[in-house]
Amino acid sequence: MNRYEIETQAEAFENANPRDILAWASERFGDKLAIVTSFQVTGIVTLHMLQGIAPRTPVLTLDTGLLFPETQDLIARLDQQFDLDLRRVKPRQTPKQQARDYGDRLWERNPDRCCHIRKTIPLRDALAGFAAWVTGLRRDQSAGRAATPILSRDRHSGAIKIAPFANWSAERIWQYIRDQNLPYNPLHDMGYPSIGCWTCTKSITDARDSRSGRWADHAKTECGIHVAPAIEVARG
Ligand code: SF4
């Protein structure tokens, strides 16, 4: 898709039901479509909707080696419940190997580098061969996500990035979770609206920003996956 097609389609999707956007994505990209999720609530709604569309769409999840046990349990439970084509994306280095090469607790000293090693590069590599991927980004999650387009070109992987729930609110997502009686991470009920690595996630400090518990001791607000790299990746 060229830039004009992406922007036109994104505009057409502004008021579309996410289910219709997912159906379009599945039809358009077939086995070149992937779901990328950290198994937070929007991702769970995505996986549930996909059950009626294309249930064996590959599901990529970043397993940094530093996930909460609650997150690991939830992934295993949903993998079994939905019979997912689950692909755990791991960094080249274990946390121990990273500590050997970069020093202990890199996430405290240089979280950008740590996320680059453990998230951005592994996901970029895992997306090779996929033409499009679905993300659970929503505009209400933080100021930095307020302008999230429903369709865009991911400048890390070069693939089309689809955010079907960009204009859904947290309330609407939670209503869906309750209506469908879907499992979710128990940490959400303990003051963690956004959950990443245990090393960098705290209960929230600002109720207006659901991601304020992420890298709370740093100015950092994004891991890098959803931020454009300094140099745009060439695309075909
Ligand atoms: S969230 Fe923290 S521990 Fe996880 S990859 Fe990023 S900096 Fe490292």
Every domain of the chain and the residues it spans: 3-185
Residue among 38, 66, 92 whose CB has most ligand 1 atoms within 8 A, to mutate: 66
Ligand 1 site, residue 200, Cβ cutoff 6 A: yes
pLDDT in tens, 156-204: 889 999 999 999 999 999 999 999 999 999 999 988 888 999 998 888 7
Ligand 1 site, residue 95, Cβ cutoff 6 A: no
With 70 as the cut, is the pLDDT of residue 229 above it?
no
Give which of 138, 137, 131 is closest to 153, Cα–Cα.
131
Side chain identity at residue 6, one-letter code: I
pLDDT of residue 233: 37
CB 91 within 8 Å of CB 118: yes
Q: What is the mean pLDDT of residues 124-147?
A: 93
Ligand 1 site, residue 110, Cβ cutoff 6 A: no
Cα(118) to centroid(ligand 1), Å: 7
pLDDT of residue 35: 98
Q: Is 84 exposed, middle or buried (0-12, 13-18, 19+ CB in 10 A)?
A: buried
With 50 as the cut, is the pLDDT of residue 230 above it?
no
Work out which ligand 1 atom sits closest to the CA atom of 201: 1
β-pairing, 33-36 with 58-62? Answer: parallel
pLDDT of residue 214: 66
Ligand 1 site, residue 10, Cβ cutoff 6 A: no
pTM of the model: 0.91
CB 113 within 8 Å of CB 15: no
CB 183 within 8 Å of CB 190: no
Q: What is the DSSP string of the chain?
A: --HHHHHHHHHHTTTS-HHHHHHHHHHHHGGGEEEE--S-HHHHHHHHHHTTT-TT-EEEEE--S-B-HHHHHHHHHHHHHHT-EEEEE--SS-HHHHHHHH-TTHHHH-HHHHHIIIIIHHHHHHTTT-SEEE----TTS-GGGTT--SEEE-TTT-SEEE-TTTT--HHHHHHHHHHTT----GGGGGT-SS--BGGGB-S-S-TT-TTTTBTTTSS----STTS--SSPPP--
Give the dihedral sign, CA 36/55/15/153. positive
Q: What confidence tier does 236 reach under pLDDT thresholds 50, 70, 90?
A: very low
Of 114, 115, 200, 223, which is the active-site residue?
A: 223
> CA geometry: angle at 29 spanning 4 and 38, to 5°?
100
Ligand 1 site, residue 199, Cβ cutoff 6 A: yes
pLDDT in tens, 51-109: 999 999 999 999 999 999 999 999 999 999 999 999 999 999 999 999 999 999 999 99
pLDDT of residue 115: 94
The domain 3-185 is classified under which CATH number: 3.30.2130.30, 3.40.50.620, 3.30.70.890, 3.40.630.30? 3.40.50.620
223 is catalytic: yes
Interatomic CA distance for residues 91 and 1, integer angstroms:
30
pLDDT of residue 207: 58
CA distances to 144, 147, 153, 226, 235 from 156, in Å: 18, 19, 9, 9, 10
